[in-house]
Amino acid sequence: MNILCIGDIYGKTGREAIEKHLPILKEKYKPDWIIANGENITAGNGLSQKHLNFLKKCGVDIVTTGNHILARTDWVEVVKDKDVLRPNNLVPESSPGKGIAVFSKNGTDNIAVMNLTGRIFMEPCRCPFAEFDKLYPLVPEQTPLVVDFHAEATSEKQAFFWHVNSRAALAYGTHTHVQTSDDLILPEGNTACITDIGMTGAVEGIIGVDKSTVISRFRTGFSEKFICAKGQTKIEGVFVRLNNLNKPEVIEKFRFIG
């Protein structure tokens, strides 16, 4: 099974990057599943129904999110879509949407995907380690599990990966918008992982945002509305291939710029 995971898509420039680069990735990796984090796709802050439809049209199968999914007033309706996940531990359990689901194509090639958020330097949430333990029994046997762990702290992400080792086939970090170089398959359990898969958006910005806006905010201390950076685009993420036993045999981070 070939799995392609795309880093946080930021604003209009991120959407342009998807249109430009995703066909290249499809041709290169021949993915059975495409998973993308869409929490920043709408003006850098949230996921609208319009842009969810855009992702589906481009070939994205599953859309994960993060803390910014709550930014828009229409989030309640968007997360009801069968192909959208929101962090299971971010909101009360009775909230709309879901943080874990099993997906299938033509009744075969089933995959389970879980979406959680971290606690360090993030909004208050339930313990992601305990949340994983609670949700894991919902994963059917012989079904590979992929986890999008939307978190800030490197140490928390890496601790989480070791915690889920042997249970998740793939666990990766999102949220920081900076791709890390530590993609590997953990020993003693064979979970593929990477601390952060990166961002899809503008090359000449600061984690997706117009650089002059961010620099001004640091220099003055005054809050300014973030504006999506424009210009040259990039798409970042990770590719994983599972063997017939649903164990990872290849993990490869990617970055296309143009």
Please write the tens of the pLDDT for every residue from 2-51: 999 999 999 999 999 999 999 999 999 999 999 999 999 999 999 999 99
> Looking at the domain assignment, is residue 80 inside a domain?
yes
> Looking at the domain assignment, is residue 214 inside a domain?
no
Burial of residue 58, with CB atoms counted within 10 A of its CB: 0-12 exposed, 13-18 middle, 19 or more buried: middle
Of residues 256, 257, 200, 253, the one with CA closest to residue 229: 200
Please give the Cα distance from 64 to 17 (Å, whole number). Answer: 18
Give the mean pLDDT of the chain.
96
- Domain CATH code at residue 52: 3.60.21.10
- The residues annotated with a catalytic role in the active site are 68
> Looking at the domain assignment, is residue 216 inside a domain?
no
> Looking at the domain assignment, is residue 13 inside a domain?
yes
Cα 58–Cα 63–Cα 68 angle in degrees, nearest 5: 120
Quote the domain boundaries for residue 167.
Answer: 2-204+233-257
Q: Residue 243, Cβ neighbours under 10 Å: how many?
A: 12
> Looking at the domain assignment, is residue 228 inside a domain?
no
> Looking at the domain assignment, is residue 106 inside a domain?
yes
In the chain, how many H helices and how many E strands? Answer: 6, 13
Q: What is the pLDDT along the chain (258 residues), one digit of tens a residue?
A: 999 999 999 999 999 999 999 999 999 999 999 999 999 999 999 999 999 999 999 999 999 999 999 989 899 999 999 999 999 999 998 899 999 999 998 777 899 999 999 999 999 999 999 999 999 999 999 999 999 999 999 999 999 999 999 999 999 999 999 999 999 999 988 999 999 999 999 999 999 999 999 999 999 999 888 899 999 999 999 999 999 999 999 999 999 998
> Looking at the domain assignment, is residue 224 inside a domain?
no
The total of structural domains in the chain comes to 1
Report the predicted TM-score, pTM, of the whole model to 2 decimal places. Answer: 0.96
| Cβ contact 34:4 at 8 Å | yes
Please give the Cα distance from 5 to 119 (Å, whole number). Answer: 23
> Looking at the domain assignment, is residue 227 inside a domain?
no
3-state secondary structure of 35: strand
pLDDT at 170: 99
Cα 207–Cα 150–Cα 128 angle in degrees, nearest 5: 155
